[in-house]
Chains A and B, each alone.
Chain A
Amino acid sequence: MRYPLLPALLMLLPAPADANAYRAQGKPVRVARTMTVTPPRDWNQLSARPGRKAEVWTLDGERLNAVTWFGGIAPGEPLLREPRRRRTLPRYSDAMLLAEIPELLESTYRSAGGIADFTLTTAASDPFLGHAGIRFGYAYVDADDLPRRGEARAAIVAGLLYIVTFDAPRTDYFDRLLGDVHRLTDSAAL
């Protein structure tokens, strides 16, 4: 049985010793070991990580809403964890322009999740982390046949890639939580 991308990645990991963490409103916290965020509302950080330099925040579980922070991806690295013997994920390259980051995320989703139905819907320049950045939207259908929408923000700082993605079912969840996610990602700083 094929599982949705993020739940599948998280369930492949051994059960972490730590419980899911509480990210309290107004309390600054380090995310993905590189950025600082001051959450405007309470969130949860999942103890399982989909990548060495990534972490997931959620309100109701990753199937219903997932904010995934990727911090300081170096050239040659993929966004997500992959088996050592099966290195098939696309890699970030320092030759990439910001405008090419949506394609990197799309090919990562297609490779890691086997997602055939993926569409980039919007893309525009938009500062992130106080640097030149890009904001783009996308839509896809994952293995659970639940249509999802996503929005991502990215910046390249000193040759390292920083991305935050928000994924949620297009039915109810995406639109309802997008404002909260904007306020959360607006608070991110290096």
Chain B
Amino acid sequence: MGTGLATRLTIMLLAPALTLAPASPAAARQRSAQKTGFTLPAGSGRTILLIRPSIRVGARSTGGMFEPNGDWTDQARRNIETALAAQQQALGNRVIPAPIADGDAARLVADYAALFAAVSQSVIRYQFFAGDRLPTKKRATQAGRFDWTLGPGIARLPGARDADYALFLSTSDAYGSTGRKLLQIVAMLGPGIPLSAGEHAGYAGLVDLRTGDLLWLNADRAMGGDLRTPEGAARRVQQLLADFPGSTPAPR
């Protein structure tokens, strides 16, 4: 069902918004943006609260339905957490893990993780993809505003009092089943329809813990790295945190 959007977004994440700094001058398409005027130099003395990553791994059936796979998701979580721990030092500022929450606090964390994913998807579609840009967002961008927020209620997150910013990471991976891959070949050879076998989306975002404003976002619906392997997870984390404000560039 999502093939149309995913394919379209992959192709169309091109034009940089007027006042958003592109991830890299050489980047062929925009997948990263930073709020105008926001800076976070390395060693600034600021603290980043690392929210437990939201990870979903499964298979895409022949019909395009997502079938979650618990084993793959567990593997991916272990691999991502190991890769994050290894790359945390390169972020340039103090990073603390969000405390383990339960009950209402856990629900609040889950709600904000889901809200972050929804905001990221909206930024991809309505800010990064010039063809779908919302007129009011276009005007805000021209006026120098990057108008995306999770709201000031984020200050209630467990651990928020001890930090300045929250770092959210979210990945969603659907590997194509054998039937899906066969259908992909048939669709291409027959009517010539480009059909994606799977989906490998990832979002990383830095949020102001006082205002809820999105300060930096790196989001792509077509990321690399097989999260089921340690090497793949390391590659994904490196991609997610590429151009993180104040970070040391990872060796390519």
Are the C-beta atoms of A1 and B118 separated by less than 8 Å? no
Among A7, A60, A61, A171, contact of B111 (Cβ-Cβ < 8 Å): A171
B65, CB-defined interface residue at 8 Å: yes
B115, CB-defined interface residue at 8 Å: yes
Q: Which residue of B lies closest to A170 (CB)?
A: B111
B150 contacts which chain A residues (CB < 8 A)? Answer: 171-172
Residues A60 and B114 in contact in the complex (CB < 8 Å), given A1-B199, A171-B153: no
Are the C-beta atoms of B135 and A15 separated by less than 8 Å? no
Q: Which residue of A lies closest to B8 (CB)?
A: A15
Residues A172 and B153 in contact in the complex (CB < 8 Å), given A44-B136, A63-B118: yes
A43 to B139, CA, bound (A): 12
B147 contacts which chain A residues (CB < 8 A)? Answer: 60
Stretch at the interface among B21-29, B73-81, B89-97, B119-127: B119-127
Q: Which of B110, B115, B125, B131 has the most CB of A within 10 A?
A: B115
**A46 vs chain B, min Cβ distance (A):** 8
Are the C-beta atoms of A44 and B5 separated by less than 8 Å? no
Residues A171 and B199 in contact in the complex (CB < 8 Å), given A1-B174, A2-B65, A11-B2: no
A29-82 residues at the B interface, CB under 8 angstroms:
42-44, 58-61, 63-64
A2 to B58, CA, bound (A): 12
B60, CB-defined interface residue at 8 Å: yes
Are the C-beta atoms of A3 and B1 separated by less than 8 Å? yes
B159, CB-defined interface residue at 8 Å: no
Residues A1 and B135 in contact in the complex (CB < 8 Å), given A60-B148, A63-B122, A64-B119: no
B114 contacts which chain A residues (CB < 8 A)? Answer: 144-147, 169
**A59 vs chain B, min Cβ distance (A):** 6
Are the C-beta atoms of B126 and A19 separated by less than 8 Å? no
Give how many B residues have a beta carbon under 8 Å from the other chain's beta carbons.
41
Residues A44 and B111 in contact in the complex (CB < 8 Å), given A11-B4, A60-B148, A172-B212: no
A21, CB-defined interface residue at 8 Å: yes
A59 contacts which chain B residues (CB < 8 A)? Answer: 134, 136
Among B60, B115, B117, contact of A1 (Cβ-Cβ < 8 Å): B60
B3-31 residues at the A interface, CB under 8 angstroms:
4-5, 8
B230, CB-defined interface residue at 8 Å: no
A20, CB-defined interface residue at 8 Å: yes
Are the C-beta atoms of A61 and B66 separated by less than 8 Å? no
Are the C-beta atoms of A146 and B115 separated by less than 8 Å? yes
B133, CB-defined interface residue at 8 Å: yes
A27 contacts which chain B residues (CB < 8 A)? Answer: none
B112, CB-defined interface residue at 8 Å: yes
A81 to B102, CA, bound (A): 41
A63 to B121, CA, bound (A): 8
A96, CB-defined interface residue at 8 Å: no
Q: Which residue of A lies closest to B56 (CB)?
A: A1
**B157 vs chain A, min Cβ distance (A):** 11
B117 contacts which chain A residues (CB < 8 A)? Answer: 144, 146
Among A2, A61, A144, contact of B126 (Cβ-Cβ < 8 Å): A61
A158, CB-defined interface residue at 8 Å: no
Hey, what's the 0/1 contact readout for A160-190 against B, CB within 8 Å counting as 1? 0000000001111100100000000000000
Are the C-beta atoms of A8 and B133 separated by less than 8 Å? no
B148 contacts which chain A residues (CB < 8 A)? Answer: 60
B245, CB-defined interface residue at 8 Å: no
A95, CB-defined interface residue at 8 Å: no
A99 to B136, CA, bound (A): 36
B174 contacts which chain A residues (CB < 8 A)? Answer: 1
A21 contacts which chain B residues (CB < 8 A)? Answer: 135
Can you name 20 extra interface pairs (CB under 8 A) apart from A44-B136, A169-B115? A1-B1, A1-B2, A2-B65, A11-B4, A11-B5, A19-B135, A20-B132, A20-B133, A22-B135, A42-B135, A42-B136, A44-B135, A60-B137, A60-B147, A61-B125, A61-B134, A63-B121, A145-B114, A169-B114, A171-B151
15 A-B residue pairs with CB within 8 Å = A1-B58, A1-B66, A2-B65, A12-B1, A19-B132, A19-B133, A60-B122, A60-B134, A63-B118, A64-B118, A145-B110, A146-B118, A147-B111, A169-B111, A176-B151
